[in-house]
Structure 1
Amino acid sequence: MKITTVGVCIICGIFPLLILPQLPGTLTLASLTVFACVLVFIPFKTVRYIALTLLFFVWGILAAKQILWAGETLTGATQDAIVEITATDGMTTHYGQITHLQGRRIFPAPGLVLYGEYLPQAVCAGQLWSMKLKVRAVHGQLNDGGFDSQRYAIAQHQPLTGRFLQASVIEPNCSLRAQYLASLQTTLQPYMWNAVILGLGMGERLSVPKEIKKYHARYWKRRI
Structure 2
Amino acid sequence: MKITTVGVCIICGIFPLLILPQLPGTLTLAFLTLFACVLAFIPVKTVRYIALTLLFFVWGILSAKQILWAGETLTGATQDAIVEITATDGMTTHYGQITHLQGRRIFPAPGLVLYGEYLPQAVCAGQQWSMKLKVRAVHGQLNDGGFDSQRYAIAQHQPLTGRFLQASVIEPNCSLRAQYLASLQTTLQPYPWNAVILV
Q: Which runs of 5+ in 2 are unaligned?
A: none
More helix by share: 1
Describe the SS at the equivalent of 1:130. strand
Deviations 1:72-121 (A, max 9, x none): 11111100000011111111110000011111111111100001111111
Q: CA deviation at 1:189?
A: 1.6
State the TM-score, normalizing by the size of structure 2: 0.96
Deviations 1:138-194 (A, max 9, x none): 010011111000000001100000000000011111111111111221222222232
Q: 1 CA distance for matches of 2:30 and 2:9? A: 19
State the TM-score, normalizing by the size of structure 1: 0.85
Identical residues among aligned pairs (%): 96
Q: CA deviation at 1:5?
A: 1.6
User: Bigger shift: 178-187 or 147-156?
Assistant: 178-187
Q: Which runs of 5+ in 1 are unaligned?
A: 198-223
| Higher-RCO chain (CA-CA 8 Å, sequence separation at least 6) | 2
Deviations 1:32-53 (A, max 9, x none): 1111111111122211111111
Q: How do residues 2-21 of structure 1 correspond to structure 2 at under 5 angstroms? A: 2-21=2-21
Q: 2 CA distance for matches of 1:174 and 1:15? A: 41
After the TM superposition, which parts of structure 1 deviate over 4 Å for at least 4 consecutive aligned residues?
Answer: none
Q: How do residues 24-173 of structure 1 correspond to structure 2 at under 5 angstroms? A: 24-173=24-173
Q: 2 CA distance for matches of 1:188 and 1:9? A: 48
